[in-house]
Amino acid sequence: MKFFIERYSKHKVKENPLWLVVLSDIMTNLMLFFLILYVFNIQPQTEAKAMFMNGFDKEKAQEMKEKKAEEVVKKFEEEDIAKKLDEELYKAGMKDLAEVQITDKQIKINIAAPVLFPSGSAKLGRASSEILGPVAQVLNKLPNDIIVEGHTDNVPIKSGGYATNWELSAARADAVVALLAEKYSVPQERMIAAAYGENRPVASNSTAEGRARNRRIEIIVSRK
C-alpha cells in the first residue's frame, strides 16, 4: 500500500541547487563578453576599440591620456610659434612678400622668390639671411619634418644657366635647405627639397601680378 501511494502520488519538484544558479549567471556573462569581443574583431580598427581594449590595462590607458594631452599642448605651441613668426615678418615690412598659413595638418611659410633670389638665379641675395633667420628660429623650436618647395611662373627661362623652370625651382629649394642647415643649424635629416617649377600655380600666369605670386618658396612644417 505504501509503495502504491508513493508511486501514484503527485511528483514533487526539487529546487535547483544554489551552485547551479551561480553557474548560469557566469555562463551568461561570459557569453556576453565574447560576443562583444567578436563584434570588435569584425569591425575595422577604431579609436573606440583601442580605448576599450586598453581599458583592461590601466597603465596603458593612462599613457594614452597623457599622449593626447601632450598632442593638444603641442598644437597650441605650434600655433603660438607660427603667429609670432607672422608678427615678426609683419614688423620687418614683409607683409606683402611673405605670409604664414596655419591649418590642422601644416604650417606653411610662403616667401616671394624675388625677395630671396635675383631673376633667373638660384643664388640667395643679401636680404635672404634676414628673412630666413626668424623662420629658422621657428624651425629649430619644432621637431617636425620640413619640406622646402621651389615654384616658378610659366615664363620660359632665357638666362641663368637653367634649361627649364623645374631646374631653377629645384636649385632654389636646395639653396634654401643648404642655408638653413649651414647657417642656422636646422637638422638636414628633417628637411626635404622639392621642385615643382610652374606646375602648381597659386594664381593665373596670364597677368604680371599672378606670375609674381607663382614665383615663390614655400616652407611647409608638418603637424602630426
Q: Is there a domain that residue 188 lies in?
A: yes
Please report how the helices 128-141 and 165-182 are oriented relative to each other, as an axis angle in degrees rounded to 10: 60
Highest mean pLDDT among 64-68, 108-112, 140-144: 108-112
Single-letter amino acid code for the residue at 28: T
In degrees rounded to 5, what are phi and psi of residue 100? -120, 125
Both 42 and 79 in a single domain? Answer: no
Could you tell me the CA-to-CA distances from 66 to 69, 73, 79, 142 in Å, in that order? 5, 11, 20, 20
Q: Is there a domain that residue 11 lies in?
A: no
* pLDDT value at residue 186: 94
Both 23 and 114 in a single domain? Answer: no
- Rounded Cα distance, 85 and 99, in Å: 9
Contacts of 21 (CB under 8 A, 6+ apart): none
Q: Is there a domain that residue 6 lies in?
A: no
Average pLDDT over residues 188-201: 95
Least confident range from 55-69, 70-84, 124-138, 170-184: namely: 55-69
For the chain, where are the alpha helices, taking DSSP H only?
Answer: 2-8, 18-42, 47-54, 58-91, 113-116, 128-141, 165-182, 208-214
Q: Is there a domain that residue 116 lies in?
A: yes
Chain position carrying cell 606646375? 199
| Beta carbons of 49 and 37 less than 8 angstroms apart | no
Give the count of domains, the chain.
Answer: 2
Average pLDDT over residues 142-167: 89
What is the band of 62 on the pLDDT scale with cuts at 50, 70, 90?
A: low
- Per the prediction, the chain carries an average pLDDT of 78
Which one has a higher pLDDT value, 122 or 7?
122
* pLDDT value at residue 10: 54
What is the band of 139 on the pLDDT scale with cuts at 50, 70, 90?
A: confident
Both 80 and 115 in a single domain? Answer: yes
Both 102 and 205 in a single domain? Answer: yes
Which one has a higher pLDDT value, 43 or 112?
112
Residue 213 pLDDT greater than 80, yes or no: yes
Q: Is there a domain that residue 68 lies in?
A: no
Nearest to 101 by CA among 88, 83, 116: 83
In degrees rounded to 5, what are phi and psi of residue 108? -110, 125
* pLDDT tens digits, one per residue of 18-45: 666 667 778 887 787 777 777 666 655 5
What is the band of 126 on the pLDDT scale with cuts at 50, 70, 90?
A: confident
Q: Is there a domain that residue 1 lies in?
A: no
Nearest to 172 by CA among 148, 190, 188: 148
Query: CATH code at 153?
Result: 3.30.1330.60
pTM (two decimals): 0.64
Domain extent at residue 46: 19-56
* β 191-197/146-151 pair status: parallel
* Residue 139 buriedness (CB in 10 A; 0-12 / 13-18 / 19+): buried
Which one has a higher pLDDT value, 124 or 78?
124
- Rounded Cα distance, 63 and 101, in Å: 32
Nearest to 133 by CA among 192, 91, 76, 190: 91
